[in-house]
Amino acid sequence: MLSFAVIQDRIEQKDWLRRNGFPVGEYRAVRSLDELRDAVVALGGRCFCKSATGGYDGRGQGKVGFTVGASVEDEVRGAWEALGERAGVAEKAVNLAKEISVLVARAPNGEVKVYPAALNHHEEQILAWSVIPAPLSSEMEAKAREIAEAIADTFQLEGVLAVEMFCMTDGKLLVNELAPRPHNSYHASVRACVTGQFEQLVRAVCDLPLGDVGIVQPAAIANLLGDLWLKDGQAVEPRFDAALAVPGVRLHLYEKHRPRKGRKMGHLSAVGATADEAVELVLRAKALL
């Protein structure tokens, strides 16, 4: 069984995944600058570094080996500072084709529902947009579902769990991180699926029959960061009226009163006849803000 204390620590989480036979990329736990230096060498020189606890949406993260002409020592020191000079993981850079997530719901009685995979696009380590369903082969979709369900069963989950995965260029899947809660990438489930993730969470924790997770229509979301409310240091109001004029688009605000750079303030959602159309519509609306 995986406790929340373990899942909240990236070192412990990755160790648990590896110990239980789930596919993860090469990584090293680092607890000092010297350990980070050694890890970068052992992992081939190109790494993503993440703090063991806390940190999200690009916070508590650094990179080594991606800046042409940069000193490796300077990059390592910069990554260590990004970690807050505390424990973290160094992950070997992989040949990535796309990033997906799979949401699993599991009730105390053992009933399980696995949502169709979501395709996720990040910019500067922050989720920019996501769409359900992800454009995957039937074989890769089935494998992703199998991995996510097995993790939930091994975890003895009661609630919902988002399993973030890397789709490799060679067709393999690697587990990136686990999030035992409703997930940003499944906000589109409210419009895409028969049962949205928030209703499903209530059903799961109350041991009620889990809802149907079938696709009603493809749907996409685009995150709205605090940057949209700030221009040249001044507060501005985004052009919500222009965005909402795009067919099929809705606005969802999180009632956060202090916008700041990189802070998720809400999202736009859109539906379409296809996943590509849903993405095109939501990005068109975002551009009008």
In this predicted structure, the answer to whether residue 4 has a pLDDT above a threshold of 80 is no
Question: Do 26-92 and 96-287 have matching folds?
Answer: no
Mean pLDDT computed over 18-33: 97
Contact 271, 191 (CB under 8 A): yes
**Residue-wise pLDDT tens digits, 27-75:** 999 999 999 999 999 999 999 999 998 766 667 899 999 888 889 999 9
Tokens of 125: 């380590």
| Rounded-to-integer distance, Cα 135 and Cα 117, Å | 9
Q: What is the pLDDT of residue 31?
A: 97
What are the structural domain ranges in the chain?
A: 26-92, 96-287
First to last CA, the chain: 45
Contacts of 206 (CB under 8 A, 6+ apart): none
CATH number for the region 26-92 comes to 3.30.1490.20
Within its chain, how far is the Cα of 187 from the centroid? Answer: 12
**Residue-wise pLDDT tens digits, 271-286:** 999 999 999 999 999 9
Overall fold of domain 96-287: D-amino Acid Aminotransferase; Chain A, domain 1 (3.30.470)
Task: Using pLDDT thresholds of 50, 70 and 90, give the confidence band for residue 89.
Answer: very high
Q: How far is CA 77 from CA 34, 35, 93, 195, in A?
A: 10, 12, 18, 46
Tokens 């605000």, residue located: 253
**Residue-wise pLDDT tens digits, 134-159:** 999 999 999 999 999 999 999 899 99
| DSSP secondary structure letters along the chain | ---HHHHTSHHHHHHHHHHTT-----EEEE-SHHHHHHHHHHTTS-EEEEESSS--TTTTEEEES-STT--HHHHHHHHHHHTTSS-EEEEE---EEEEEEEEEEE-TT--EEEPPPEEEEEETTEEEEEEES----HHHHHHHHHHHHHHHHHHT-SEEEEEEEEEETTS-EEEEEEE-S--GGGTTHHHHBSS-HHHHHHHHHTTPPPPP--BSS-EEEEEEEGGGGEETTEE----HHHHHTSTTEEEEE---S---TT-EEEEEEEE-SSHHHHHHHHHHHHHT-
| Rounded-to-integer distance, Cα 169 and Cα 174, Å | 11
Q: What is the pLDDT of residue 232?
A: 78
Q: What is the pLDDT of residue 58?
A: 64
| Rounded-to-integer distance, Cα 187 and Cα 169, Å | 27
**Residue-wise pLDDT tens digits, 199-216:** 999 999 999 999 999 999
Q: What is the pLDDT of residue 59?
A: 75
In this predicted structure, the answer to whether residue 2 has a pLDDT above a threshold of 70 is no
Q: What is the pLDDT of residue 234?
A: 81
**Residue-wise pLDDT tens digits, 98-117:** 999 999 999 999 999 999 99
Q: Can you say whether the dihedral through the CA atoms of 165, 167, 171, 174 is positive or negative?
A: negative
Mean pLDDT computed over 164-191: 96
Contacts of 48 (CB under 8 A, 6+ apart): 61, 62, 63, 90, 91, 93
Q: What is the pLDDT of residue 3?
A: 66
- The average confidence (pLDDT) of the chain is 94
Amino acid symbol at 174:
L
Picking from 87, 58, 84, 63, the residue whose alpha carbon sits closest to that of residue 75 is 63
In this predicted structure, the answer to whether residue 16 has a pLDDT above a threshold of 80 is yes
Mean pLDDT computed over 79-101: 95
In this predicted structure, the answer to whether residue 175 has a pLDDT above a threshold of 90 is yes
**Residue-wise pLDDT tens digits, 233-246:** 788 999 999 999 99
Tokens 């979301």, residue located: 221
| Rounded-to-integer distance, Cα 216 and Cα 118, Å | 14
